[in-house]
Amino acid sequence: MKLARRLSGALFALSTLGIAPLASAVDTTWTAAVNNDFYNAGNWSTNAIPTAADNVLILNPAVTASINFAGTRELGSFHLGTTGATGGNVDFSAGTLAVHADFDRSHIGDKSSLDSKFVMRGTAVMLYDEPLDGGGGGLGSPGGNQDLEIGAQTGAAGKLGLLELHDSAILRISDDLKVGAETNGNGEVLIDGNAQISTGSGISISESNPSKGKMTVAGSALVVSGNSAGAGNSAQGFTDEGYFTLSTGADSTADVLVKDSGKIYVRSLQQRGGVSNLTVQDNGEFHIFDTFNFAAPNLGVATLTGDPFGPQRANNVAENNGSQFNLFVTGNGKVSIDSAVDDGSGLTLQGLALSGGNNRGAVIGSGGASKIDLRDHASFVLQQNLYMTVSNGSGDATSNLRVVGPNVGAQIKGDLFMSYDPVNQFQNPGQSTLTAVITGGTHSTIQVGGEAKIEFGNLAVELSGYAPHGGETYTLLTANSIGGTSFAATDFTLAPLASGLSWDVTVGATSVVLKVLGSVALPGDFDNDLDVDGADFLKWQRNFGTPGYDAASLATWKANFGATAAVSAAAAIPEPSTAVLGAVAVGAIAACRRRVAR
């Protein structure tokens, strides 16, 4: 193990010099007695500048410790806040800080009753636990196996541990970044600008019970899990999993927001319990692929492979009963998954498992509620399969893939399974639903490269800001083949139609098509051609005096002139030509009446 090798070398060097080796690091406490300079010896309880042999304790947030230097310096570990009324603030703007973490992990907020904040900005670089020492053999290793904890045991409803990265700051960690992960944890990470975070083992956001964690990735920032030296740098980096684990305990919550042009690259996504919300919006990106060997996602090339019992895991969310997972992708947000782990049995779940399944790629009996909501030019691409409600033992497990309106790119290049156990090949008790939210005359199509096994799943249709007029056709799904001739159930409760219209769902060999049958009368459309124009007036004129063609019906025509079946009469605004036609109509009425009088 790398840590053991480095320590044994250090101990040998000390012994040859006749110096007793350190049994543990020495605590030194920030006093701010002179000023706010972190590297002023007079600001420390030991009256010495902290080194690799020191555990730095910053317990008073009143004076921010400022770190700004040229070159590289070392620390043993650092702790912002411990027990009681303690907390700390650090502003790190320049230099490379190597934190060895030989004897202890580090904390930004720990059991304290005051907020703690560590800000990295400018050209600050932190190398935590030798993240660049993989030497080409880092796959399967957590490096020194020491975590960096943000908001550990600070109180899920109370004080906060906060890590911020701005500008061109870089943080690299050989093992784990844990955000609000311990019991009563409350942690947050905010990264923007061109800043980077890379971790080897993984990132946990709200793990124990209860806990609360949050991460925001904005600007052009990049967060990588699965290579401590940065995505694709297998020559220097470490990883033993590369997980991105959201809420785990029943009372834990995780909130992740990726926006602007921020990106998150990970080797696996997991969520077992509690409530997790992952939002990717406004050009943000979230990608799952082999970050240890590849620098960027490349579907079908940068695929994560290998045994899920080895240094990689399968992707699963809403694993346990009562858990909730929500993925919201909008505003040109992009999500892709490229994971084909396999234990050799050929039965391992590949791609993404919703509501059931575990990180070993196995079907399990428990399962929670998961929802994926795609809208407004969202992109959602799975290179392998999507398993909706894969749990084979929980009737309470549910999943919902919700597509809102047109301009959504939804691709499942493998198979789609709805409420189906592909291992034991039988129907699962929980429900899975495809929801189409119709917003106009066109709608997005879910594209499945393999089989879409829908016979045990449900279809729900909703209307949002649109009233169908009849004749609309929407191709909701295409596939190489469709498993089943119909959905288990269809729900149009939230899609009421006008009188004379009805919904029709056709499940073919390779597609699912939704149609609006019938037509709805358009006021003033006397010739029934789905618009109100001059031709309707001419028909009214020819038929004046017969039932339905009188002064009242002419007034209806005038009020709706210019309307079509796709535009409501209430929204129709008379054009100048309407006034002209109105005047003609008045004359026509008078003429018609004179003819009748004679």
pTM of the model: 0.88
Region label for 180, one of left (φ > 0), alpha (ψ between -120 and 50) or beta (otherwise): left
Q: Where are the domains of the chain?
A: 27-297, 305-310+330-354+379-391+403-520, 534-597
Return the pLDDT at 195: 99
Supply the pLDDT for residue 181. Answer: 86
pLDDT value of residue 358: 95
pLDDT tens-digit map of 557-588: 999 999 886 544 333 334 445 444 555 555 55
Looking up tokens 């703690």, which residue turns up? 116
Rounded to 10°, the helix 576-597/551-560 angle is 170
- pLDDT the model gives residue 357: 93
* Conformation bin of residue 584: beta by default, left when phi > 0, alpha when psi is -120 to 50: alpha
Report pLDDT for 14.
Answer: 35
CA torsion, ordered 197, 120, 39, 43, to nearest 10 deg: -120
**pLDDT value of residue 394:** 86
The upper half-sphere exposure of residue 127, i.e. CA atoms within 13 Å in the direction of its Cβ, equals 20
Q: What is the pLDDT of residues 105-158, one digit of tens each?
A: 999 999 888 999 999 999 999 999 999 999 999 999 988 889 999 999 876 666
Residue 21 confidence (pLDDT) above 50: no
Q: What is the Cα–Cα distance from 241 to 276, expressed in whole angstroms?
A: 21
The predicted pLDDT at position 346 comes to 87
